Amino acid sequence: MTVVDCSSGRLKPGEVDLGTTIMAVQFADGVIIGADSRTTTGSYIANRVTDKLTPVHDLIYCCRSGSAADTQAVADIVHYHLQLTTMSEGQPPRVHTAASLFQQLCYGNKDQLQAGIIVAGWDKYDGPSVYAVPLGGSLHKQPFSIGGSGSTYIYGYCDAAYKDNMSREEAIDFTKNAIALAMSRDGSSGGVIRLAVITKDGVERIFVPGNKLPTFWEG
């Protein structure tokens, strides 16, 4: 979350930008979502333990990058519509439904919003699934997705280390390592790692403190 020069971008004066690292990975029985926890305003770290994993339904979460205000507002609207869908249909919504709502809101308001979203979760129709809604409002179903300012540092690692049908432990390690690598390089990412393991049985939250982060060569 970084305050940027409003004259050169879409942010309004005083608006906070999510300089961050977000990630979601599909594995055999569910999905892992994760993010760092640093919120910055310029070079000042305003919050070092932010929770950037946002639930929009019981088994559907989103990770947000872009304008904090924009993405919080969009997530609240999607949460509201998913609650209405659950009541009207008498059953939990599909992950694709949630992703499509994000896509419609982001695309329909693309000239007013700065929002990059990753949506992930589990439903009884499609099982585990991950969707990316990048800036501009397109929609992409992917086995894993990364986003935020820190993601530019880890595309190579993710391409090399990802494999289909990982176990729960392999997916957790993959996500932790990728986010830790991004945090070590990106000045707008840092703090701790927060993960959520989403399966048909529920959501398990995992907290990785700063002194337990995976370590790599740092020169």
- pLDDT of 177 > 80? The answer is yes
Q: Name the band, by pLDDT with cuts 50, 70 and 90, for residue 61.
A: very high
| pLDDT score for 4 | 37
What does the alpha-carbon distance between residue 183 and residue 62 come to, in Å, rounded to a whole number?
20
Are 118 and 102 spatial neighbours (Cβ–Cβ below 8 Å)? Answer: no
Is residue 197 within 8 A of residue 203, CB to CB? The reply is yes
Picking from 193, 191, 168, 167, the residue whose alpha carbon sits closest to that of residue 179 is 193
Count Cα neighbours of 137 within 13 Å in the Cβ-side half-sphere.
16
CB 63 within 8 A of CB 161: no
Element (H, E) at 179: helix 168-185
Strand partners, 124: none
Question: Which pLDDT does position 144 carry in this prediction?
Answer: 98
User: Average pLDDT for residues 4-30, to the nearest whole number?
Assistant: 72
pLDDT digits (tens, 9 = 90+) for 32-59: 999 999 877 767 887 899 899 999 999 9
pLDDT for the residue numbered 5:
38
Catalytic residue among 2, 20, 39, 40: 20
Cβ-contact 62, 118 below 8 angstroms? yes
Read off the pTM: 0.91
Asked if residues 26 and 145 have their Cβ atoms less than 8 Å apart, the reply is: no
Say how far apart CA 100 and CA 139 lie, in whole Å: 7
For residues 46-75, average pLDDT = 92
Give the C-alpha separation, 102 to 56, whole Å: 11
Predicted confidence band of residue 7 (pLDDT cuts 50, 70, 90)? very low
b/e 161-175 (16+ beta carbons within 10 angstroms → b): ebeeebeeebbbebb
| Catalytic annotation present for 20 | yes
Residue 18: predicted pLDDT = 63
- Residue 14 scores a pLDDT above 90: no
Nearest to 74 by CA among 130, 114, 32: 114
pLDDT above 70: percentage of residues in the chain: 91
The model's pLDDT over 114-164, given as tens digits with 9 standing for 90+, comes to 899 999 999 999 999 999 999 999 999 999 999 999 999 999 999 999 999
- For residue 94, what pLDDT is reported? 97
Give the chain's mean pLDDT.
Answer: 91
For 217, counting Cβ atoms within 10 Å of its Cβ (0-12 exposed, 13-18 middle, 19+ buried), the class is exposed
**DSSP 8-state code for residue 148:** S
In degrees rounded to 5, what are phi and psi of residue 213? -70, 145
